[in-house]
Structure 1
Amino acid sequence: GEFLHWAQKTLLAPAWLALALVATQDRTHPFGVGLHPAFYPMGIYRLLEREVPQQRIFNDMRFGGSMLWWLWPKFPPFIDGRGDTYTPEFWQQQYLPVIQAKPDWRARLEAYDIDAVLLPVLAPGRVPRLATALKADPGWALVAFDENAILFLRRTAANEAVIARTEFRHIWPGDWTLAGITPETAVSSIAEANRTLQLDPKNLLARTVVARAALVTGDYPAAVEMLRALVELPGSGPNYWRDLGYAFMKLGRFDDAEQVFAHMIRKDLARGYAWFMKFHIALQRNARTEADRCLTEALNAEPLNPDYLAARMKFDAAFKK
């Protein structure tokens, strides 16, 4: 009675909120003919062509060649891929101080009359120092990103309309914790994610945002639909499996949840958490012996976890008098 009520109450607090969601993925570059998307952010190029007024753009060197092909003459690159054609002075005084976000990067961009910046995404949650500096500067707005690139616009009169339509306020490729997604921001976060998915339909961060927002708002069917796709990605890590099992439990689909947690145990993905969730399932089924075993396994995996220790004390007090 009282213990089961406590166990159900603790389950209402999503366990995934305790951990930052840092998913990994297969970022190997396959061999093939033509430019790899890492050097060719076509969705962002289309946005620039379609919606952004002509202006000077500062770009990472890797994008220069494809910019010449797709964006010239509207957006000629600040630098292209022909590194040996640039002087040492250009590298030391113009390009590197900006791309490395040296203290005078703002003054240099103003001196070059730059109102747009195109930078790479280095890895999930990793962006160049200049991107972090631009994100923190109120004079700039993040207006687009995909799996490989980020576009900022300066807040000018010419850019006001496009920024109003496209600015990202809740999603940031440099932060995969997604701590800013709350019930209050979920709807706008999903809208931002959907804008990115229009540019890059397989974007991992945007799909993760949709799943997280669904969990935050209690839309567990939508969360299950997205998470089922995410767990199939190579190297996706344990957190998608955790969230999928949690969503199944909230829907009362304990058999499906148990399959998820059994998979996590087999693959050694957050084994302590998986056993702890199996403990909750056993309690729901009034299978006390199985619950005891699962809780023991959870503590074997994480002996110092305070939630597991508290559950052991309460379980023993309730059933082992």
Structure 2
Amino acid sequence: MSAGRTRFVGMGVRIEVDHLTMRYGAVTAVEDISFTVEPGEFFGLLGPNGAGKTTTLETIEGLREPTEGRVAIDGRDPARREPDLQRRIGVQLQSSAFFERLTAVEQLQTFGSIYGVPTSRLDELLEQVGLTEKATAQVEDLSGGQKQRLSIACALVHDPEVVFLDEPTAALDPQARRNLWDVLRGINESGRTVVLTTHYMEEAEELCDRVAIVDHGQLLQLDTPATLIRRLDAATRIGLAVEAISIDEARALPGVQTVAVGSAGLVIETRDAATVLGELGRREALEGLSVSKGTLEDVFLDLTGREYRA
């Protein structure tokens, strides 16, 4: 669980994915995947394009029926579309369509009317996603980040216990993405189970209690981001100002594996950071010092490869 987070015991729902397989003719999109999501957990599904994560998510949501295996939300099959179970589920799709020429609050009213939601809840929702000042703005006049916030508000309108978010920050600029993180964090901290798919490893590392990395329809690894990073045993990166030490001197230091010069300065990779830092200190070559270990992105690339996939 991420630092500073409070677990809401007994809230949210439990999700079970048991030997899930999804085939479309001769194509196997998901192959024998199993995992559980605990009540109140913020769970991430990560994978390259075409890895099977959206198919897995849509099956959990009940939008697709498994070819083989079983999916359950609190022990019930979501594909049966039972109304009382559907009320407990909120879904935010990759791309959301809104009604033309309706304001933000009118969009919420329309979605809320399906569930008999009182209009008094709408102001609360707009405040929760930071759109109070845009309540009377038409959707066409909202920015990309604001539209994503409204999409999430529509998924929350009936106060679900579990929320599914399929790449909610895709195509957003860094500021809008980080701003939306606060909204997603708040959704989880209110006691809801959250299942997220994303291409942004920093986002998953920041938000998720556990992540499942999938590729070619198979589950490769599942654990907390911190555990996956430790398991990778990546080299430590030591950054320095270019003028701190020459490349030849850096390469000659005991414990150094590689030395490179980038736009940010000199980068030394080592598996013996204490020795390298000690040597740099003795040479008074610590200008611009930064030290970083592996990241979830390193884990992801190690498992799935570095080639680009359209």
Query: What TM-score do you get using the length of structure 2 for normalisation?
Result: 0.30
Greater Rg by CA: 1
Greater RCO between the two (CA within 8 Å, min separation 6)?
A: 2
Structure whose residues are more often helix by fraction: 1
